[in-house]
Homo-oligomer: A and B are copies of this chain.
Amino acid sequence: MRPERTIQDIVQEGGKYFMPSVSLDCVIFGFHENELKVLLLKMKNMDQWALPGGFIYKDEDIEDAATRVLRERTGLHDIFLQQFKVFGLPNRSDKKHHLNIMKKDGIKVGKDHWLIQRFITVGFYALVDFAVVIPEPDMNSVSCEWHEIHSISELFMDHKDILDNALETLRLQLNHQPIGYNLLPQKFTMPELQKLYETILDKKLDRRNFQRRMNGFGFVKRLKETRKGGAHKAPFLYNFDLRKYKKALQEGLQGGW
């Protein structure tokens, strides 16, 4: 375990234990009420939202650092995450802005301070079960909330660009990564799975053909229970046969959508 740090400690001493010039940002996807959502932080003293992110300890693997950030924001330990791109434009960070934040927090820093150097950031996307996440803001933010993916228009720095890239990656990897498994609860209904696919692909699919195809793959198992409570006919619940699912993904699910 890494020690808890205060914001003052990080600003003043972070240069000693964090890697210089490298950060990471996480696009955390969740699925709830038939909508794809992303976990965002409302920043202190600002009217902007940002992706959860962090720095990397000098002796820490980058993936471990991402896992740590994920754990801190969601409370979850075992999370599916995947690095997808480095964002490294020289002017991507707004140095004036950083200085302002620190001023407001009453922290004075020199021009060669580690936090106002150029930073590149490694983008990760993570897939979580919405229901079990307990969102927790970090030191720089006042709240941590889910946002519907299509209602996000502007974010801190280049974070909107990072988000768009994550979504695009998700789309491309839909046939190669266990996306359904990680975004849905253990038990789910066919219409839910379909909605997930439709949201990610941003297109409508035929209900019956979708079901036939999914069943044809052989990695979903229908249970004897149904999802009660909703109006209309109660749909059956399914779960994934993880063995078969992963095996099928290795080859990539055949055919387009």
Contact = CB atoms under 8 A, between A and B. Distances in A.
A65 to B, nearest CB: 9
A61 interface: yes
Interface of A: 19-22, 56, 58-63, 83, 85-86, 88-90, 118, 120, 122, 172, 176, 251-252, 254-256
Nearest to A63: B88
A83 B88 CA distance: 11
A60 B118 CA distance: 10
Given A19-B118, A86-B86, A88-B122, 11 more contacts: A20-B21, A21-B21, A21-B22, A22-B120, A58-B90, A58-B118, A60-B90, A61-B88, A62-B120, A86-B122, A254-B256
A108 to B, nearest CB: 23
Nearest to A56: B88
Contact of A83 (B22, B86, B118, B176): B86
Nearest to A90: B59
Contacts of A83: 85-86
